[in-house]
Amino acid sequence: MIVIDGKSLSIQEIRQVAVKGEEISLSRESAAKIQQSRKWVEEIINRGDPVYGINTGFGIFADRQISSHESRLLNRNLILSHAVGTGDPLPREVVRAAMLIRVNTLAKGFSGVRLLLIETLLEMLNRGIHPVIPSQGSLGSSGDLAPLSHLALVLSTDEEDLDQLSGFAEYGGELTSGKEAMNKAGIPRIILEAKEGIALNNGATFSAAIAALACIDAENLLSIAEISLSMSLEALLSISSAFDPRIHESRQHPGQITVAERVRELTRGSSLLDSTNRVQDAYSLRCSPQVHGPARETLTFATGVISREINAATDNPLLFGEGEAISGGNFHGEPVGLVMDYLGIAMTEIAGIAERRVFRLTDGKLNENLPSMLVDQHENAGLNSGMMMPQYTAASLVLESRSLATPDSTYSLPTSAAQEDHNANSMTAARHTRQIIANTAHVLAIELYTAARALDIRIRDIPHTKLGIGTSAAFRCIRDVVPYQAGDALWGPEIDAVRELIITREISSAVEEAE
């Protein structure tokens, strides 16, 4: 069980909870902090002084003081009026990741909510209640207001407790109203008290959730990209000197050095490399460490930012002691938006250079005497199309990703009568980057599939061919699932099967075991 303390949640733990369903609990230290901050809220209410987010309106209505007997209505109205998202529902793992991050944020003890609210979120996660959250409608400032309000609809209620005002949730494989899901799970819904509405819906939590999962997936794909690159290098009889450590150390970039070293390890023992009289390869081969390497460094930077964000206090105001409720802007999603744009650009480049290698593998003028389009035999060209269309698909996905990689964080429109005059657009940035990563996974599956076919032909045509230690393991892993077919076939499902090997990390595991 993962213990939540508001300060040490890792991205890998998010994956364990969001994807694998690991249970969570709250630390005693955090429980004490939460209860103390709630006392501070109650002291502010008793004094009657206007404090934003506790006894005032929100946004442009911050100058309107609200009486204590209207506090419950204020918080209920906030959630009802802000749950206006649209678009397809977010995937379950994103919803679970966001719920976990919100628990961790509130567990820091700066938000002034009751312990009961956090315990309710914990129970929802542990029992598998997943609110239906529309994917569109958030600007990332003041945080992900609409998505978080849809989450709050499911766990909160009012005296009337109307079913139609409880949102929707998935529980036990069934989609129902939020009220019905909570009832079936045996979790009481709560009436929100002072400060709790804004504590729930303030902060770029869904942006951070998508970003955390994007970082995890990108890390896997960058490792796969080194494997697919290495297989392409062997299939194209490339020159190993471009990966000489002295070249990369002379430039000093750590990502570049790491990628070159990884390629040397994967191709160790290959009889295909350096088997021609060529002195230089094309950029998509020779310069691959200089492209893959910066993507690795980008991921390292993005992971650091998101790791801090998932352990941050992001609502407003924050409570720091008796009478100290300080209004600020930690809800602003700019850190998430910027690094997601950066990561999206990097992963688009990974897909782009992989597609160029696929192109070279299929072009009979560029692939070192392999059949055009990798048909089984040169004389089959025309009757068979070979790998013609998989390259089309890769090109299409790269073009789409290049469009999606246009930075979203540079776009802003004012809201709330210009009180909120600069918005982060972080959730759009995160969503676009996650789609880029999905596109990249398929492009890499196409490269692996195409390179494996090219290696089959090399092995057949060159006696005693020996693959590298790592590439050989990856090749066998692919061929165990999708055997070589000489003539044209329905390639799509086979490429999908290779993509599944990427996502489940079976190829990576096979390579690690071999090494």
Q: Could you list the active site residues?
A: 52
**Cα Dmax for the chain:** 89
Comparing CA positions, the residue from 230, 506, 494 lying closest to residue 357 is 230
User: Are the C-beta atoms of residues 209 and 94 closer than 8 Å to each other?
Assistant: yes
Residue with tokens 């938006």: 337
User: Are the C-beta atoms of residues 127 and 121 closer than 8 Å to each other?
Assistant: no
One-letter amino acid at 396 equals S
Buried b (16+ CB within 10 A) or exposed e, 79-91: bbebbebeeebbb
Region of 418 on the Ramachandran plot (φ > 0 left; ψ -120 to 50 alpha; else beta): left
Q: What is the 3-state secondary structure (H, E, C) of 234-262?
A: HHCCCCHHHHCHHHHHCCCCHHHHHHHHH
One-letter amino acid at 462 equals I
Comparing CA positions, the residue from 453, 344, 354 lying closest to residue 401 is 344
Task: Give the C-alpha separation, 218 to 188, whole Å.
Answer: 38
The SS3 assignment for 175 reads strand
Task: Give the C-alpha separation, 54 to 70, whole Å.
Answer: 11
User: Are the C-beta atoms of residues 510 and 226 closer than 8 Å to each other?
Assistant: no
Task: Give the C-alpha separation, 293 to 59, whole Å.
Answer: 44
Comparing CA positions, the residue from 508, 10, 505 lying closest to residue 226 is 508
Dihedral sign (CA 147, 165, 80, 122): negative
Q: What single DSSP character describes residue 211? A: H
